[in-house]
Amino acid sequence: MKETILIVEDEKDIVKMLEYNLKKEGFKTLSAHDGEDALDLAGKEHPDLIILDLMLPGIDGLEVCKTLKKESKTASIPIIMLTAKSQESDKIVGLELGADDYVTKPFSLRELIARIKAVLRRAKEKDKLPEILKIGELTVDFAKIRVLVKDKPVELTAKEFELLKTLIKAKGRVLSRDYLLDTIWGLDHAIEIQTRTVDVHVRTLRKKLKGEAGHILTVKNYGYRFEADED
Ligand code: CA
C-alpha cells in the first residue's frame, strides 16, 4: 500500500512542487493550506507522515503540531517541520512538542525526500510488533498467526485476526470504522452497510476472546481501540 503524506503549506507553488515530486517517488499526497484543514485531514485520513510548514495563516504550525501530538488519533503520525532560517527558536520548540525532524527553507528536494524516508523507516521500526504479545490471559502470536486465551487456541478468521492485530498495533489509539474498513477490507467508500461489517467482526471477535474481550473498547459514534492495561 502506498504511504500517504499530508503536505501542510499555504504557499501553493510549494504544495504543487511537493505533490508532483512525492507522487513521482511513489507516495500518495494530501494537502492542506491552513492549520484547521491540516487538523481536520490528519484526523480523518490518518496519513503516514505530515510535512508541516510553521508559517501558516490562522492556527500556526507549532499550534498544529501541539494539537496533533495531544490527540490520541494523530499522536503517532510523524511530523517533519518546514522552517525558515529566522525561526531558529521555533524549530527547537517544535522538536520539543514532538515533531520528528525539520528542514530549513529554502530546502533541497533531495534532502527533504531523504528525511521523509528516514522518518518513515524509524516510525516503522517503532511500530513493529513483538512476535508474541501476552496480556493477562491473552496470547497473540503474530508470527504463527495464533491466538490463545487461557492457553486454549482461539479460532479466528483471517479478517478477525487482522482486526485484532490492527487494533493492537495502534497502541491505544482510537481507530475509526472507516479507517478499519479501509485498512482491513480495503473499501474506499464506507457506506452504512460496510461500516457495519466492522461492528459485526468486532462482535464475533469479542465473543471468541471471552474473558479477554474487555481489551477491545468501543468509542461511541467513532470506532474502537485496544486497551492493554487491565484495571
Ligand atoms: Ca507558509
Categorize the per-residue pLDDT at 231 as very low, low, confident or very high, splitting at 50, 70 and 90: very low
**What burial letters (b/e) apply to 61-82, b meaning 16+ CB within 10 Å?**
bbebbbbbeeeebbebbbbbbb
Q: How far is the CA of 14 from the centre of ligand 1 (A)?
A: 9
Residues 6+ apart with CB under 8 A from 19: 7, 29, 31
pLDDT at 192: 56
- The cell numbers describing 184, all together, are 482491513
Q: Phi and psi (nearest 5°) for 186?
A: 65, 30
Average pLDDT over residues 122-149: 87
- Residue 190, pLDDT above cutoff 60: no
Q: How far is the CA of 123 from the centre of ligand 1 (A)?
A: 26
Q: Which segment, 163-172, 184-193, 205-214, is predicted with the most confidence on average? A: 205-214
Count the neighbouring beta carbons within 10 Å of the beta carbon of residue 201: 20
- Residue 49, pLDDT above cutoff 80: yes
Q: How far is the CA of 56 from the centre of ligand 1 (A)?
A: 5
- Residue 49, sorted as left (phi over 0), alpha (psi -120 to 50) or beta, turns out to be beta
Residues 6+ apart with CB under 8 A from 29: 4, 5, 6, 7, 18, 19, 22, 23
**Protein residues within 5 Å, CB atom, of ion ligand 1:** 10, 53, 55
Q: Which domains does the chain have, with CATH numbers?
A: 4-126 (3.40.50.2300), 132-226 (1.10.10.10)
- Residue 195, pLDDT above cutoff 50: yes
Q: How far is the CA of 55 from the centre of ligand 1 (A)?
A: 4
**pLDDT digit string (tens) for 4-33?**
999 999 999 999 999 999 999 999 999 999
pTM: 0.63
